Structure 1
């Protein structure tokens, strides 16, 4: 009976996390299709490039709390510790956001054949949501709070923007502004709920005797882990922009859809992040191995689902302007499955063991291999070459990290 109760609790948590991700994915895919229909594939390419650069900026803004935050919240014994963790995170990340926004704007300006205004508007919603309390809700194992406080406002505003685009009520830049407003509402609503007070008090509550410098040092492994994974995920778009600009438009659709599908599998990582450290240090090694097995099984299953559904989904999202072949569909599935395994193994297994340094070393070695392959294969093989390079580098990292967990 105890086993059944635990299984039911885990299934309920997974289901609520999955519902959040499903709503966000559906609204986002609808938004992409509406933007392509309203402005064309070339216009969307500038937005997609901006989102790729913004995703890297968002990792800097998040500063590793998405990796180490859930573990700290799950292990905390008192509510005061949990609230302090979020207050520290919000205050520091807000300061970083101002600097990161300027850096992202400069990076977009330097990229060739990218509309700077559209690129920046595509980047801002991605960066702002890095301030959210999602890591707090994941560590608390409370997907229902995440659903009501963050998912609903984000999905509602994104869907509204897509609807307005399809009815020719607004243009793509205004639609991106609506999406940004939804993300701001989600950040404000979730932050206010966590602290039970006005957000201006976050700055007072986050004052620590050891200061922000200690926080910066403490979070460096989590930041490095998240940044390396995000860099490997988003750098191919930037490489393609330079070495094979002719395939930027079709690859932007394939890349974005694959990442949305990866986001759809994130409940696996979210549930494991809160589960592995919950019974204390003595159970972490055993639970980390169980999490490893679950991660690989889930990765293979998700890869098969994505490979089967990729072709009709790409056709629909691109409004018929992109038609992927069977090989691209298989590589998309491998992309999503391998990234799922890497996220779950490093963020749940290795993070709970206090061994994020192992994950970071594996990514530092394997990421350059994959990116070199992307640069070499993009021009002769197109989208197939880009996806092949990504999957090769990520497979090597997954094997390395899996061995580390088993040992």
Structure 2
């Protein structure tokens, strides 16, 4: 046990947990405060904007947020800053182009003033231009907290104080936008001014080549976002009476995803950093870690979700042990699938497999969830998540193990 606790991967995971816990706690507090001072309708419009901005955030961040950590961790130190600078230029241009479109879309979607949606876009889309993926890949959890976690958390706290004082959504968003911009600018200056990571200018590459390399990561990120957001929309459209029960079940999966985040971030930086000779060994260890995390987390959800759902909803919506077991199984398979895709396959340069599996997840997975929802309601929706997550986990782990075996065979044949 002592050896496990002292493992570098465990230490990194613990450090990466800090910003996640801080953001989760403030996020829980913010809901009743905002509702209480601007009303449930305004809060609902804010939630709608947050959902819409996920898509625009993806368009700005491209694939760097998904596979960037593994990519930069595998680079020689002297090439890292130039790679980041190239990414920053592309994402900066993307933000300048996409931000006005996001403002127009959010204004049309909600009917809120342009001033409000502009502040929202700065809060929820601008973070795609920060250096968080680079800080994860280069194992700088303290800097990640200082320039990503802390601005997000402090911005929410300042926003809550502002909304209590002024009672408007604009006051909340002005505070969050200000702290977001501080984090984005600060993180980039931190990276670009560090002499340890080489020069900011490197070998010139055509921007088309760089963008093409982002397709697998973008596909994986888009798949993960869609898979997180769309099932509850399908339930609302197909079986509206089941949406409350499914919404509570889905909330436990979202909490589980928060727990996966720090471990994924740690693995993304740890797996490739020791060089290609160690990737195979570390990839196997990463798969074991993902499986263990899934079993522990899934088991906890299965056992605790019935009582926790009753507590959180004041007894109005209580998950049965059967549904809780399905939610736990979905978490188990989803954790294995996600870590395998974003860390193991990314580190092993299995870009095509990553992109293909991400596309299958949406093209086949969502229709299956829709069909099972139509047949069995909320239970069918959760069961559909289990089936699709299991299939994705088996597919991605199978691809990863195959790549490991091929690399080992090639190594044995090498002189």
Distance 1:302 1:86, change over 3 A: same
TM superposition shift of 1:135: 1.1
Which residue is 1:358 aligned to?
A: 353
Contact 1:17–1:270 under 8 Å retained in 2 = yes
Q: Secondary structure at the match of 2:227?
A: helix
CA distance in 1, matches of 2:118, 2:311: 26
Distance 1:73 1:207, change over 3 A: closer
Contact 2:83–2:202 under 8 Å retained in 1 = no
Tell me which of 225, 238, 251 is aligned to 2:220. Answer: 225
Which residue is 1:73 aligned to?
A: 72
User: How is 1:259-338 mapped onto 2 (pairs within 5 angstroms)?
Assistant: 259-310=254-305, 323-326=317-320, 329-338=324-333
Which residue is 1:200 aligned to?
A: none
Which residue is 2:187 aligned to?
A: 190
User: How is 1:17-28 mapped onto 2 (pairs within 5 angstroms)?
Assistant: 17-28=16-27
Which residue is 2:206 aligned to?
A: 211
CA distance in 2, matches of 1:330, 1:308: 8
Which residue is 1:148 aligned to?
A: 146
Distance 1:33 1:343, change over 3 A: farther
Q: Secondary structure at the match of 2:273?
A: coil
Q: Which has the larger radius of gyration?
A: 2
Deviations 1:179-208 (A, max 9, x none): 3333222112211111129xxxxxx95686
User: How is 1:50-129 mapped onto 2 (pairs within 5 angstroms)?
Assistant: 50-79=49-78, 81-104=79-102, 125-129=123-127
CA distance in 1, matches of 2:297, 2:388: 19
TM superposition shift of 1:397: 0.9
Q: Report the TM-score when normalising by structure 1.
A: 0.82
CA distance in 2, matches of 1:123, 1:384: 36
How many correspondences in the alignment?
394
Task: Give the root-mean-square deviation of aligned CA atoms.
Answer: 3.5
Distance 1:94 1:242, change over 3 A: farther
TM superposition shift of 1:26: 1.2
Contact 2:82–2:202 under 8 Å retained in 1 = no
Contact 1:133–1:190 under 8 Å retained in 2 = yes
Which residue is 1:348 aligned to?
A: 343
Which residue is 1:201 aligned to?
A: none
Deviations 1:268-314 (A, max 9, x none): 11111112112221222222122111111111212233445556766
Q: Secondary structure at the match of 2:204?
A: coil
Distance 1:394 1:243, change over 3 A: same
CA distance in 2, matches of 1:71, 1:372: 31
CA distance in 1, matches of 2:170, 2:245: 21
CA distance in 2, matches of 1:262, 1:249: 20
Contact 1:28–1:159 under 8 Å retained in 2 = no
Distance 1:178 1:374, change over 3 A: farther
Distance 1:306 1:110, change over 3 A: farther
Distance 1:52 1:179, change over 3 A: same
Distance 1:380 1:43, change over 3 A: farther
CA distance in 2, matches of 1:391, 1:40: 36
Contact 1:64–1:223 under 8 Å retained in 2 = yes
Moved more, 230-239 or 352-361: 230-239
User: How is 1:379-394 mapped onto 2 (pairs within 5 angstroms)?
Assistant: 383-394=378-389
Q: Report the TM-score when normalising by structure 2.
A: 0.81
Deviations 1:53-105 (A, max 9, x none): 322322222111123321232122234x2111221122211222234345545
User: How is 1:23-42 mapped onto 2 (pairs within 5 angstroms)?
Assistant: 23-38=22-37
Contact 1:48–1:119 under 8 Å retained in 2 = no
Which residue is 1:10 aligned to?
A: 9
CA distance in 2, matches of 1:215, 1:140: 20
Moved more, 290-299 or 188-197: 188-197
CA distance in 2, matches of 1:43, 1:251: 24
TM superposition shift of 1:33: 3.6
